[in-house]
Amino acid sequence: MVEYLENWIKDTIVPEGLSKHFAIERAHRVPARLPSPGLPPRPVLARLLNFRDRYLKLQKSRQLVTLEVENSKVMIFPDFTAAVSQQRATFLMVKRKMRELGLKYALLFPAKLKVMTDDKTLFFTEAELAWEWLESRFPERAGDWIRKDPRPRRNKTRKRNKIKKPTKQQSKDEQHAAIANISSLLGERSTRSDTSGSGAGLMVQTESDTSSACSVKEYGKSRISQTPEDIMDSDATT
């Protein structure tokens, strides 16, 4: 990859003007999944040894009308972090409008727009300020300007299906339903009273409930004290 890019830059982009020590330190494709058939290949990252060679390569690539490799279009961009790329992307439409109006500009690092006019040089750190200056300079042509990029964004975050947590009232209703089911299985009778309005329930146990619970306990104790033969005989008779 390194040898191929060095020869391609010398032969296609910058045939003259590179330094004597022009070299590419390293080059590799972006570590990602292989694209599906018919889609463009993965981008290539290349690190040049000399900053002047890097700047000259970017400048010459912008001057070329078409840049192709085996009938495939190639685009060259500086590699920035995601935060810097988002800041610079806010100036996309205002730069396009300045090209239509024939203005000279440059986007400085990290995200500062430099505009050169006949009498002065202006700097803008926000795209909105640059739009306001264009409207004041060209008021007759400011009616149909599109400030936002109409193209759809490709890297949209997918919305995951979040599990909705039950509310407090729903959890209390589930608890009461579970208690009612257990009470029905044990033959108990339970009542609820909720007069506070906050959803807090109150269990009231009657004498019959206590006696039924005691009978269940006594039945369990009697079964434990019996031998396996007695239990088999009692089950057979019942």
Q: Tens digit of pLDDT for each residue in 97-150?
A: 898 888 999 899 889 999 998 888 999 999 999 999 998 888 877 666 777 766
What integer is the mean pLDDT of 198-219?
50
Bridge partners of 107, per DSSP, are 113
pTM exceeds 0.75, yes or no: no
pLDDT tens readout for residues 30-64: 988 888 988 888 999 999 999 999 989 988 988 88
What integer is the mean pLDDT of 174-203?
61
pLDDT tens readout for residues 61-95: 888 888 888 888 898 988 888 899 899 999 999 99
User: In this structure, what are the phi and psi dihedrals at residue 232, rounded to the nearest 5 degrees?
Assistant: -65, -40
Bridge partners of 124, per DSSP, are 113
Domains of the chain: residue spans and CATH: 1-79 (no CATH), 80-148 (3.30.250.20), 168-220 (no CATH)
Q: Please check the confidence at residue 164 and state whether its pLDDT lies above 80.
A: no
